[in-house]
Amino acid sequence: MPTRSALGGPRLLLRRLREAMAEPVNAQARLDRIVVLIAANMVAEVCSVYVLRADQRLELFATEGLKREAVHLTTMRSDEGLVGLISTTAEPLALTDAQAHPAFSYRPETGEEIYHSFLGVPVLRGGNTLGVLVVQNKVKRAYSEEEIEVLETIAMLMAEMIASGELQAIVRPGAEIAARQHLALTGTPVADGVGLGHAVMHEPRVIVTQIVAEDTHHELERLEAALTAMRANIDQILDADGSAGESREVLEAFRVFANDRGWLRRLREAVSTGITAEAAVERVQNDARARLQRQTDPYLRERLHDLDDLANRLLHQLTGQSLIAAPESLPDNAILVARSMGPAALLEYDRKKLRGLVLEDAGGSSHVAIVARALGIPTVGDVENVTNLLEQGDAIIVDGTTGEVQIRPQPNVEAAYREKARLRARRQEQYHRLRDVRAVTRDGVDINLMMNAGLLVDLQNLPEAGVKSIGLFRTELQFMLASRFPKVEQQFQLYKQVLEAVPGDVTFRTLDIGGDKILPYMRTYEEENPALGWRALRIGLDRPGLLRMQLRSLLLAGAGRDLRIMFPMVTMVSEFDEAKAIVEREVAHLKRHNHEPPKSLRLGVMIEVPALLWQLDELLERVDFLSVGSNDLVQYLTAADRDNRRVANRFDTLSAPVLRALASVPKKARAYGKPVTLCGEMGGRPLEALTLIALGYRGLSMSATSVGPVKAAILAADAGDFTQYVETLLEERAGTASLREKLRAFADAKGVPL
């Protein structure tokens, strides 16, 4: 066994193993050679490799010492026997007398009864067990710590071989190895569309190839240097007042971990066993992952992510590789996979090569999701653990409409999605042909379809969507993408470019931050209920400096043009009065300084807070227009968080109470001769759009991709029919449950495409 004098042993063994892995022989011959090498080097009579299959059974793939006939015949459940125990606990197990262990399960076909001592280690990758590596001896002997570590090091090499997929060729016919198995995952649908391609990790894992150290002392020095550099880097980002892509909270957590004594000690100890600094980071992290992944406490699981990120940073520091994928080296059909990413990072990739985006820790309302939608990249969010289940380059399919993600799809699954993508492309082609057709119902009701936007990249979608106007320009996106408050000049530039590029009206909404829209550089306050807290116009009025600067930028950009501004989250009419007074002061200020004023200036209010529904008269006397923000309005009406999946079925836009509330707005607005539009997500869904038209809405603003489907539905529908049906539904008090199914059946019966 490798005692001190044999320390050259493991190094030599690993070199031999590497050579064996590179030999041009088939997978079985290679594995057979590997077990012989390990057994000989570790002075063991037995060395066996078990590989985890997709059906959660461990299959004996190769052995030296056990009966050869058992190879590919012996299998056990992943929780059966000693091998199963190692697989489920993901921890090594060393026993002097294996047969005395309660988990021991006797397999006569292997002939293992003559071997007493047993040492097994899990083969881990990304915290997942891929297999188990075992050595056994006849005599009852205790394995040393050092031996356990040597076997763990070999297991790292085995992980590479299993993950490569090479062993799939020799698994028992009909079975699939777990490491390469097809997985169907589900997340939150974020941006519509189907994408097929190959996984590109936004933050690629460093693949550690150099495992054994030439010089342990040197490796310890490298580790310390990398740790120091990494800590300095984190401090620097934290101190650089907001230039961080990541939130402060995450970086603070990094800082704590980076100085954690236990973590540092484990790293140093691992290096002291004779492996490289990189291999040490990987091993310590694999252990941590295996331990923490079995935790059910969400807080601890969250820390695992922080720790993962930190380990990854350290690996990148050690190897000098850049932390994120080089956007310019993207393959043609890339599906980007990220734990989470900032919106600016996404914009760096070449849109033409991106077929999809999969996010582990970000959902539909994240900033990157907003950009993904603007760019029209099929995207799924909240896909648990996806970054650990994939290898760079794996085949992957994203369905941003249903939220499905297929990893390493089987040919029939792939064919089905290809067909889906083809159908979608054909439908897009039909929408494309409707581009220049006006949205008029069969009975001649003209509907003004507009687009929601917030970034310059959105504007390139205008011609394809066939719309002229922007019904909602979310100005906060510029603020959310920036690393500090955009100056008047920067805001002015954006607004001016928008006004120049858009042929019709643009309705700018003043800053809607707070709630879930956080500016990393702005001081935040802990709030119990951020959605009910200090947000949007509330911040604007309490801190008028910010609002004034924005209004000034808007007024400057609107010089000599028609300018429309609306205020979000108005609760009381008096807040509109206050906001209007600020606008007037700004107009006066600009005039005093000889700036040309806008040709016309219209001020509006978003109906997002239910309280406004009972102030419509006062409001309509004052405003030039109204726009219903149904995302927030419905969230507050139903007391159901718009982004919380658990209550998503209670956030029902087609329920009687919501429809009655929505009906009151156009009815009142007509009496005052004031235009009203709706700019929430529901307006972009065909069935909801028709229902809104039935309630009296004539202007809908939506995402670019929704325009085609909504227009196709409008062209096929009769507004009078729908109005009558919706009125009957609301009058007959059938509204004890959702009206969705009834409305859908009605639309189907009328032959309206939804």
Tell the burial category of 445 from Cβ atoms under 10 Å away from its Cβ (0-12, 13-18, 19+): middle
Nearer to ligand PEP, 35 or 676 (CB): 676
Nearer to ligand PEP, 136 or 701 (CB): 701
Alpha-carbon dihedral angle through residues 106, 109, 113, 114, given to the nearest 10 degrees: -160
Question: Are the C-beta atoms of 312 and 323 separated by less than 8 Å?
Answer: yes
Q: Shortest approach of ligand PEP to residue 634 CB, angstroms?
A: 8
Question: Are the C-beta atoms of 737 and 463 separated by less than 8 Å?
Answer: no
Task: Identify the three-state secondary structure at position 57.
Answer: strand
Question: CB under 8 Å to 725, separation ≥6 — which residues?
Answer: 694, 743, 746
Question: Are the C-beta atoms of 394 and 409 separated by less than 8 Å?
Answer: no
What 419-422 contacts at long range (C-beta under 8 Å, 24+ apart), as own/partner pairs, is 420/194, 421/194, 421/195, 421/196
Nearer to ligand PEP, 149 or 512 (CB): 512
The token pair that represents 542 in the structure block: 């309490």
Work out what residue 441 binds among ligand PEP, Mg ion, none; the CB cut-off runs from 5 to 8 Å by kind: none
Please select the residue that binds Mg ion; options are 147, 308, 586, 632, rule is CB under 5 A. 632
Report the C-alpha gap between 195 and 732 in whole angstroms: 45
Q: Shortest approach of ligand PEP to residue 719 CB, angstroms?
A: 23
Q: Shortest approach of ligand PEP to residue 173 CB, angstroms?
A: 53
Nearer to ligand PEP, 308 or 632 (CB): 632
Tell the burial category of 660 from Cβ atoms under 10 Å away from its Cβ (0-12, 13-18, 19+): middle
Phi, psi for 365 (deg, rounded to 5)? -100, 5
From the candidates 47, 202, 316, 679, which is the catalytic residue? Answer: 679
Question: Are the C-beta atoms of 80 and 56 separated by less than 8 Å?
Answer: no
367 is catalytic: yes
Please select the residue that binds Mg ion; options are 364, 381, 515, 629, rule is CB under 5 A. 629
Per-residue binding letters, 569-608, with Mg ion (x by CB under 5 A): ---------------------------------------x
Question: CB under 8 Å to 557, separation ≥6 — which residues?
Answer: 492, 495, 496, 498, 499, 563
Nearer to ligand PEP, 217 or 650 (CB): 650
The token pair that represents 587 in the structure block: 């107009």
Nearest CA among 331, 311, 363, 351 for reference residue 203: 311
Phi, psi for 393 (deg, rounded to 5)? 90, -10
Stretch of 258-266, 491-499, 621-629, 646-654 contacting Mg ion, by CB under 5 A: 621-629
Nearer to ligand PEP, 366 or 387 (CB): 366
Nearer to ligand PEP, 279 or 449 (CB): 449
Q: Shortest approach of Mg ion to residue 655 CB, angstroms?
A: 19
Nearer to ligand PEP, 336 or 480 (CB): 480
Report the C-alpha gap between 446 and 121 in whole angstroms: 70
The token pair that represents 676 in the structure block: 């009203």
Q: Shortest approach of ligand PEP to residue 568 CB, angstroms?
A: 7
Nearest CA among 672, 666, 726 for reference residue 698: 666
Report the C-alpha gap between 687 and 166 in whole angstroms: 49
Binding site residues, ligand PEP, CB under 6 A: 472, 474, 512, 608, 629-632, 679-680
Stretch of 392-400, 499-507, 630-638, 639-647 contacting Mg ion, by CB under 5 A: 630-638
Nearest CA among 669, 677, 585 for reference residue 619: 669
Work out what residue 703 binds among ligand PEP, Mg ion, none; the CB cut-off runs from 5 to 8 Å by kind: none
Work out what residue 706 binds among Mg ion, ligand PEP, none; the CB cut-off runs from 5 to 8 Å by kind: none
Nearest CA among 284, 322, 324, 318 for reference residue 304: 284
Nearer to Mg ion, 152 or 512 (CB): 512
Task: Identify the three-state secondary structure at position 728.
Answer: helix
Q: Shortest approach of Mg ion to residue 328 CB, angstroms?
A: 37
Work out what residue 680 binds among ligand PEP, Mg ion, none; the CB cut-off runs from 5 to 8 Å by kind: ligand PEP
| C-alpha gyration radius of the chain | 31
From the candidates 367, 589, 593, 595, which is the catalytic residue? Answer: 367
Report the C-alpha gap between 421 and 418 in whole angstroms: 5
Work out what residue 630 binds among Mg ion, ligand PEP, none; the CB cut-off runs from 5 to 8 Å by kind: ligand PEP
Work out what residue 379 binds among ligand PEP, Mg ion, none; the CB cut-off runs from 5 to 8 Å by kind: none
Task: Identify the three-state secondary structure at position 337.
Answer: strand
Nearer to Mg ion, 575 or 608 (CB): 608
What are the strands of the beta sheet with 46-52, ordered from one edge? Answer: 75-77, 57-64, 46-52, 128-137, 117-125, 93-95
The residue count for binding Mg ion (CB under 5 A) is 3
Stretch of 210-218, 250-258, 545-553, 628-636 contacting Mg ion, by CB under 5 A: 628-636
Stretch of 122-130, 191-199, 516-524, 629-637 contacting Mg ion, by CB under 5 A: 629-637
What is the pairing mode between strands 354-359 and 379-381? Answer: parallel
Q: Shortest approach of ligand PEP to residue 549 CB, angstroms?
A: 20
Nearer to ligand PEP, 258 or 628 (CB): 628
Question: Are the C-beta atoms of 380 and 189 separated by less than 8 Å?
Answer: yes
214's enclosing H/E stretch is: none
Q: Is 540 in the site for Mg ion (CB under 5 A)?
A: no
Q: Shortest approach of ligand PEP to residue 564 CB, angstroms?
A: 15
Q: Shortest approach of ligand PEP to residue 476 CB, angstroms?
A: 8
Which residues, listed in sequence order, are joined to residue 196 by a DSSP beta bridge?
397
Q: Shortest approach of ligand PEP to residue 658 CB, angstroms?
A: 13
Q: How many CB atoms lie within 10 A of CB 163?
A: 20
Nearer to Mg ion, 180 or 642 (CB): 642
Which residues, listed in sequence order, are joined to residue 354 by a DSSP beta bridge?
334
Report the C-alpha gap between 86 and 107 in whole angstroms: 17
Question: CB under 8 Å to 221, separation ≥6 — which residues?
Answer: none
Stretch of 185-193, 197-205, 627-635, 727-735 contacting Mg ion, by CB under 5 A: 627-635
Q: Shortest approach of Mg ion to residue 629 CB, angstroms?
A: 4
Q: Shortest approach of Mg ion to residue 487 CB, angstroms?
A: 26
Q: How many CB atoms lie within 10 A of CB 138?
A: 13
- Return residues touching Mg ion (CB under 5 A): 608, 629, 632
So which residues are the catalytic ones?
367, 679
